Structure 1
């Protein structure tokens, strides 16, 4: 029999449960200063001192802001071991067209179907201009909320361990649905990144003409500050490694960002109706991101033993089984709760990126839960449908941030302005309230700006 992964089993009725649960939550909330011995050695070699990841990112961003494209090219050579010239950083229109022409027909049909699914869902939730008219004495007040798309957006597409055309779809299509006209894509200069035919073909299919062969913190900085040949953007979205996440945090305020993403994660809530082989596959599917986390919460104790057996069997036969095993052992847990109510409470405390409620009747459990990025109901809705084809974006809050954050959507590419119009009679009618509040706050010029308009 295949070896079971060494995943912690936490029983909430035991004294150690609170400590183990707190440790799990901390693991899922990366602090940005943990690095492997090999990573520390490489940092020492490149920078001449043992910098933390945060310090590395600050150095890179500062250099790109100061030296522009020269720094981007230099760091691409140092970090990616790729020599690029300014004229080769941008993927040419011919390369995009060739990738599309050489792409498999069925693959392109899938891209189109997924694009349409995303566009349909995102269009349905899109904010529209809102208008309110109010009488004020003998006067009229007109209030509006106006939405306008961002002019220019940058998208980070990973390309280290795998190619991710799905990330392109889940970021670019919501932006296009919102009306964004200019989209710049950055992907590392790797076979899975900006040299990947599937990714380039998807860019061409979506009408994206700006694709740059840069990744990491230097790509984020280039889009945030603007360098020769790459105009600055208004917002940066898309996932990446720790350095990409820290770089996005560093440039926030210079530009907007979607989130600061940590390891991919799923919490599976399952009862006696769940099939253990399904649950095991759900846990593995996020753990294979490496790093990735899979957590089972159940009050049906026999399920834990059965899931452990199926994890062992499935990990042994999967291509990325070793990576998924490591993810489950480092970031996973099997939690035995007292009942459904405690399960809901624990889930809200974790506030997972993905929540899969694997129950015959999932709606009552759903009603008890407040915090989750994306929620999947029933035994036949694996997270992979949300990752690839359903329509909501798979760019989701991680590390417990689903307590206050939501997944990326078309509305995140809209900026809104209030529009206020008082006629003279309405101005006179509301003046006393303005004057009274301004007096309380000691802002006499505010009051005067109103009283000067009175008859």
Structure 2
């Protein structure tokens, strides 16, 4: 076979782009809050959400946890344990170090956490307590001193109770019932009692994402998350029912979500398409998933080498390798947010419970960045020591480079150390 052959393609004509009006509206919101602080924040929240911005009392957070069912508490505890174990292991690899560069020259690094982080937790179409865990636990394991959670108010003006309960389990003391671009502005600039954060992390809609893009540089961000996406690579050993369920699982997130199935076996591909339609006829979230499937579903057939080249170009948020020996072919795939290996490792395990993070790069940004991890909240600070004797040799050669660049003071600074 020459090239990947598509049985179903994306409908590119209906792909949603970041519209000029979104960019302009967000810029207006940011400017108002930057200039007027809390007054502008209150005005915008009441206009868009129908509620004034409010701090969620720690007692309310703890009460939500206490009132949670035993079964849900157990589920969240398992998720916390697994997520914390994985991210604690990440912290362990980021050790301060000093190494000998040459005689009399030492260089090193320290990994210091940011002092303040804001975690945005969406609350629109579905409540996302899992995002509380995914955003907060890495910050805690990094040693961040202040962690503030922001999440939109519900119809009664309060966030979802399970989302609050997840905060309670993690011991969150600062949380705000604020959503949208205005929430990002509040922690980027500071507003009233909301203090400026050093970094803002978490997924969100187009307005939240655009707000993060515009405040980057004033504060740090984890990345710019778009609609959810999955690429599944399957061979003849894959179960078409599994493949269909895994595609629909991503498509139900949002009408703009995308799912791509690439197989080495055309019969598996055709059977998987049939199973998708069966699911869409019966699943509760079909109103969303069906739209996403029609516009953002793709199925194709090719060789494993052809598939891996396409995968590395697409750089999917989620990559599933539903093949016989996934570990042996993983090295072919180099651009993805998170990979899920084998027929029994679906993306939803990573979304909720297994330990890997679900805040991942989308829209081909996996080509140059990874997902949220402990390192997101750590600053790698470099340091250098040179002895008097080592300075003589460094000055001799370094000054020549500075002279070639025309930077006289640089040259002088080094030569002075070499002379005295």
Normalising to structure 1: TM-score of the pair? 0.87
Asked whether 1:366 is paired with 2:335, we answer no
CA offsets 1:42-61 (integer angstroms, 9 cap, x no match): xxxxxxxxx61111111111
Distance verdict in 2 for CA 1:115–1:281, change over 3 Å: same
Q: Deviations over 1:201-235 (max 9, x none)?
A: 11111111111011000000001000101000000
Partner of 1:161: 125
Match of 2:358, SS state, is coil
Q: Do structure 1's residue 396 and structure 2's residue 360 form an aligned pair?
A: yes
Counterpart position of 2:391: 427
2:79–2:354 CA contact under 8 A, matched in 1: yes
Aligned residues: 415
Per-residue Cα deviation, 1:45-81 (whole angstroms, up to 9, x for no partner)? xxxxxx611111111111111111111111112211x
Contact 2:9 / 2:297 at 8 angstroms: preserved in 1? no
Kept in 2: contact 1:194–1:211 (CA 8 A): no
**Structure 1 equivalent of residue 44 of structure 2:** 75
Give the equivalent residue in structure 2 for 1:103. 68
Q: Report if the CA contact (8 A) 1:133-1:141 is conserved.
A: yes
2:96 aligns with 129
Q: Structure 2: how far apart are the matches of 1:451 and 1:27? A: 63
Identify the residue that residue 296 of structure 1 maps to in structure 2. Answer: 261
Q: Which residue of 2 aligns with 1:32?
A: 18
Q: 1:193 to 1:148 in 2, by over 3 A?
A: farther
Moved more, 327-336 or 169-178: 327-336
1:373–1:396 contact (8 Å) kept in structure 2: yes
CA distance in 1, matches of 2:413, 2:128: 56
Q: TM-score, normalised by structure 2?
A: 0.94
Correspondence list, 1:431-446, <5 A: 431-446=395-410
Partner of 1:322: 287
Distance 1:191 1:383, change over 3 A: farther
Gapped runs of 5+ residues in structure 2?
A: none
Pair 332,208 (structure 1): closer, same or farther in 2 beyond 3 Å: same
Answer yes or no: is the 8 Å Cα contact 1:161–1:192 preserved in 2: no
Shift of 1:83: 2.7
Per-residue deviation at 1:452? 2.2
Match of 1:410 in 2: 374
> Within 1, Cα distance between the matches of 2:33 and 2:75?
38
> For 1:142, what is the secondary structure of its paired residue?
strand
Moved over 4 A (4+): 11-14, 191-194
Contiguous gaps of at least 5 residues in structure 1: 1-10, 34-50
SS at 1:180's partner residue? coil
Q: Would the aligned equivalents of 1:153 and 1:183 in 2 still touch at CA under 8 Å? A: yes
Q: Is the 8 A contact 1:170 1:394 kept in 2?
A: yes
